Amino acid sequence: MRIDLSPTSWGRVVVVTAAGTAFFIAAAFFVDSFNFPSLSPQALLWAKLTDLFLPLVLGGSFLFFLMWKMRQLAIAQKELSIVAATDSLTAVFNRGAFSMLVEAYLEQARSHDVADTGALLIVDADHFKSINDRLGHDCGDQALKLIASTIQGQLRGADIVGRIGGEEFAVFLPGADATRSFLVAESIRLRIREAEFAPGGQPWPLSVSIGGIAFRGPTTYHDMFQVADKHLYKAKSNGRDQVSFESPRGLPSADIAGTVH
């Protein structure tokens, strides 16, 4: 079984404390060993006990306290990094963290460390201003939380989602081909249409427009975002509640509108 030695783990505290204490004891015995030949049996026993227990109590206690404090600091730093990268309302990545993660993946793809395929989706809530104006900003916040959780429910482990604007989200699908990427976008759109949003007991329909682009080969976040944003504008202009998607060259692009109930 592998021991967790990460800065936030108890395994690191225990291992460093044990190894450091053993070193202190060994050093005490080594230094004192030059005096052992001249000591009486009783004095020799006392010296060995001192060499064992003094480093064990003092050194072990000091190391444990030091490593415990370092673990607390590591946990605090980790929590701060999560807070700094997370949108406080929806608990998804914020714009800066999302773009940084996408760029990091694309950089790895350029060096062939990961698959050089994937997709970027921009998801924008339709008629969101009317929710804030007619129901209030608290209800608008509830709608954003519901949209964010619905998006997350359609993604796999490697996919990421971020809130990049007031009512605008972005989804990155690393390694996904054009077909799967489009199906994910359409699934997000349908699930949000079906989501139950009834603030104060009053049902209110939700829908989103989605613009997307699938990539195959080297690209940048900026270039993908521009194309996906154009397709989002197209989806909005064509009546909202639909997906407008661009596939890599050689594959057909698609525009699918939602069914009106």
Candidate list 79, 103, 107, 167, residue with the active-site label = 167
Q: Is 167 a residue of the active site?
A: yes
Tell me the CA end-to-end span of the chain in Å, nearest whole number. Answer: 56
Residues labelled as active-site residues: 167
